[in-house]
């Protein structure tokens, strides 16, 4: 399993763009990158998944450079409700692989 | 669509008692997972099922823990006897085909307190 490293915490203000970077230096060829979001008293929630280049959905964008050794989750114009823990995970797409949640990044959005 | 449903949401009991946590996965999902979350250890996978069959229980902390999935729409996680160190939030999740290509959908968890 590819190990991931992300900042423990980040602070932002409402309306700003937030970029959370995750390092996964030993990512394998068949690994995909997935991000989850967890609010207090709730289970993690899938945000976005990608393999390379850029993926965008209604919630976030995921930027993956050519070497795929890192990825950046971009949250445009955050609001107070984006305060949560964000987890970066790497896993094989060919078949089942257990998810390993690290410590995640605790994002605090202030007014 | 109904998400993953867990019950109870909160459970407080005395050590030594049997605890049963319940989970109803999303209809049509093939995989079911049980996780435990604590401040010290984060989110840990305890066991997972594929098509109602337990595949990997290597994350189950000890024999006091057991999990069953009698049918595609129901699973239980049982702790007997319970101990204070079992206090945690227990999550159930389900997914369509596999971790690598389908996101896992989590329930809101059961907050377990063992006194």
* pLDDT tens digits for range A2-34: 688 999 999 999 999 999 999 999 898 888 899
Task: Please judge whether B100 and A102 are an interchain contact, meaning their C-beta atoms are less than 8 angstroms apart.
Answer: no
Q: Quote the pLDDT of residue A100.
A: 76
Contact state of B100 with A95 under an 8 Å Cβ cutoff: yes
- Whether residue B109 and residue A42 make contact (CB cut-off 8 A), yes or no, is yes
Q: Confidence band (pLDDT; 50, 70, 90) for B2?
A: confident
Q: What is the rounded average pLDDT for all residues in chain B?
A: 92
Least confident of A40-44, B9-13, B102-106: B102-106
Confidence band, pLDDT 50/70/90 cuts, at residue A97: low
pLDDT of residue A94 exceeding 70, the answer is: no
Cβ–Cβ of A98/B56 closer than 8 Å? yes
Question: Residue A81 — pLDDT band, cuts 50, 70, 90?
Answer: very high
Contact with chain B for residue A53, Cβ under 8 A: no
What is the pLDDT, as a whole number, of residue A102?
Answer: 81
Nearest to B100 among A97, A100, A103 (CB): A97
* pLDDT higher at A95 or A12: A12
Contacts of A108 (CB under 8 A, 6+ apart): A9, A10, A11, A12, A83
User: Each residue of A46-70: pLDDT tens digit?
Assistant: 999 999 989 999 999 999 999 999 9
pLDDT of residue B1: 63
pLDDT of B93 over the 90 cut: yes
User: Which tops the pLDDT comparison, A90 or B86?
Assistant: B86
């Amino acid at each position: 399993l590819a190990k991931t490293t992300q900042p423990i915490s980040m602070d932002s203000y409402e309306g700003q763009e937030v970029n959370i970077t995750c390092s996964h230096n030993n990512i394998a060829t068949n690994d995909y990158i997935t991000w989850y979001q967890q609010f207090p008293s709730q289970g993690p929630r899938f945000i976005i998944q990608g393999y390379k280049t850029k993926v965008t959905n209604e919630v976030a964008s995921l930027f993956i450079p050519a070497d795929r050794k890192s990825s950046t989750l971009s949250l445009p114009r955050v609001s107070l409700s984006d305060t949560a823990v964000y987890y970066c995970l790497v896993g094989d797409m060919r078949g089942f692989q257990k998810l390993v949640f690290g410590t995640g990044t605790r994002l605090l959005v202030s007014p | 669509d109904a998400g993953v449903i867990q019950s109870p949401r909160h459970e407080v009991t005395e050590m030594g008692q049997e605890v049963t946590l319940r989970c109803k996965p999303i209809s049509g999902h093939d995989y079911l997972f049980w996780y435990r979350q604590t401040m010290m250890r984060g989110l840990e996978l305890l066991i997972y099922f594929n098509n109602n069959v337990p595949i990997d229980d290597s994350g189950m902390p000890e024999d006091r823990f057991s999990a069953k999935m009698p049918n595609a729409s129901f699973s239980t996680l049982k702790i007997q006897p319970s101990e204070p160190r079992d206090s945690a939030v227990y999550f159930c999740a389900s997914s369509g085909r596999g971790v690598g290509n389908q996101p896992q959908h989590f329930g809101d968890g059961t907050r377990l307190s063992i006194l």
